[in-house]
Structure 1
Amino acid sequence: MEVAPAETERAAVAERLLTSSLRTSYDPTVEIDWDAPHAPGGYWLPPHRSSLYGTSLWEQLSQEQRVELTKHEVASAASAAYTIANRLVHPDVYAAVGIPPAVGRATARANPHWRATLRWSAARVHANLADVGLVAGPGRLLWARAGLI
């Protein structure tokens, strides 16, 4: 019996999705030691991934405030991921360390380190979508115009 072209195409897309997912998947239940205590005074993400890293606001923060900011940024990102939102920082992460949210957001938007972090994050999503042929033509142009690729 001959397989219909639509079935063959669906099988090919499913295979590409599975291959891409296996290559880029991250399983926090396996890759994170959840029983290990957090190191006191340790950053919650690499400092250069913080939205304010490399700015004058970053320089004005104490070491304790920088660590606290990264903690709130990680919590913000986890919350956004949980609600299937994009990976934008919630304004209250800045208020948590005494920075007016509008000032923090404006500084982060102008910060080349933060823009690089957003591009770094988007690159993984884009790679998955591109691998399965879902980002091409006008769609790719939108990603580029947004500065994500």
Structure 2
Amino acid sequence: MVLSDRSPTATRLLRSSASHSYDPEVEIDWDAPLLPDAFFAPEHRSSLYGTPLWDGLTPEQRRTLTKHEVASIASLGVWFETILMQLLLREYYRQDPTAPHAQYALTEVADECRHSVMFGRMIEKLGCPVYRVGAFDNGLGKWIAATATGPRMYAAILIAEEILDSLQREAAADESLQPLVRMVSRIHVIEEARHVRYAREELARQVRAAGRSRLAHDRIIIARAAYLTGRRLISPEVYRSVGIDPRVGARAARENPYFRETMRWAGEKVVAFLKDLDLIGGPGMALWRRSGLL
């Protein structure tokens, strides 16, 4: 990857932010009713698609399941974005506030504030609960937010952002889906493209600056972030919405070849990028395999 100087890249991203940023309060018609017969995600992306459990659901239950799966993904998105905002603010605290790189970090925080509000409003509009991570992962998230720097910081960000980006690009282009989901996806995809560019370039710089022992430790943290994203993108609790025991549903999803292919497809770009930077390997490989992203 050819890296340009930080400042010109940040300046371009600042200009793009000024020209292509959206206010979800204005751009989305939050009062519009949901369509009664439209799915919330493509059927073939549902975690149970193609399983006997899916075959046993009515069309209405299948739509309900995709609605709760979208809410689960949005809930994890809010959780990751809250951590990201803390990371960026810690980075900004040490930087020159007149530098374009520092100013873009604040601009991204502003974007993520709007995205988190947008995801929260969508979850409320869908009538779904907020699907939160467990106590261990919540504690891990707090630790990362307070301490993460360098490669593990930007790699963890990219894993979450790029998997969500793949799913939302497909959803934004699918005219059969709920207009609300398509519009939320479209806004997020457009603005996240800048964030991915920023994180990819910064991650490559951080890897070049890090020592061998630092990268060995960071690979384990990155693998844990991949495991969390892959295994908790769809909370087991979503299956209660259609009368399926969460343990039964989660097991079926993990063993479902269609959903395993979806996870590999969603993660293929970021996995390839992290492999190129030698950030996948060592003791963390077991977590990567269990994540479903390889």
Which bin holds the TM-score, normalised by the shorter protein?
0.5 to 0.7
1:41 corresponds in structure 2 to: 37
Deviation track 1:41-87 (CA, whole Å, cap 9, x = no partner) reads 21100000000000010000011100000000000000011101625
Of 87, 101, 112, the match for 2:257: 112
How much identity, in percent, do the aligned residues show? 43
Match of 1:59 in 2: 55
Out of 5, 9, 17, the position equivalent to 1:11 is 5
What SS is found at the alignment partner of 2:40?
coil
Is 2:237 the partner of 1:97? no
Residue from 279, 282, 285 that aligns with 1:139: 279
In 2, Cα distance between the equivalents of 1:121 and 1:56?
A: 24
Q: Secondary structure at the match of 2:53?
A: helix
More helix by share: 2
1:78 and 2:74 aligned: yes
Using the TM superposition, give the Cα deviation of residue 38 of structure 1 relative to its aligned residue in structure 2, in angstroms.
Answer: 2.8
- Give me the whole-angstrom Cα distance separating, in 1, the residues matched to 2:22 and 2:266: 16
C-alpha separation in 2, matches of 1:139 and 1:56: 38
Q: Deviations over 1:104-131 (max 9, x none)?
A: 000000001111111122124336xx2x
Report the AA paired with residue 28 of structure 2: W
State the TM-score, normalizing by the size of structure 2. Answer: 0.37
Q: Indicate how the Cα distance of structure 1 residues 29 and 126 shifts in structure 2: closer, same or farther if over 3 A, else same.
A: farther
The answer as to 2:65 corresponding to 1:69 is: yes
Question: d(CA) in 2 for partners of 1:48 and 1:28?
Answer: 30
Consecutive unaligned residues of structure 2, counting only runs of 5 or more, are 81-227
SS in 2 for 1:68: helix
Unaligned runs of 5+ in 1: 1-8
Q: TM-score, normalised by structure 1?
A: 0.68
CA drift at 1:135: 3.7
Q: Given the alignment of the two structures, is residue 88 of structure 1 paired with residue 233 of structure 2, yes or no? A: yes
101 and 147 in structure 1: CA distance in 2 versus 1, 3 angstrom threshold: closer
Distance of aligned partners of 1:115 and 1:81 in 2 relative to their CA distance in 1, 3 Å threshold: same
Going from structure 1 to structure 2, the CA distance change for 1:122 and 1:40 (only over 3 Å counts) comes to same
Secondary structure of the 2:36 match is coil
Number of equivalent positions:
127
Distance 1:28 1:74 in 2: 21
Shift in CA distance, 42/95, structure 1 to aligned 2, threshold 3 Å: same
> In terms of mean alpha carbon deviation, does 77-86 or 102-111 score higher?
77-86
- What is the aligned-residue RMSD (CA, Å)? 3.4
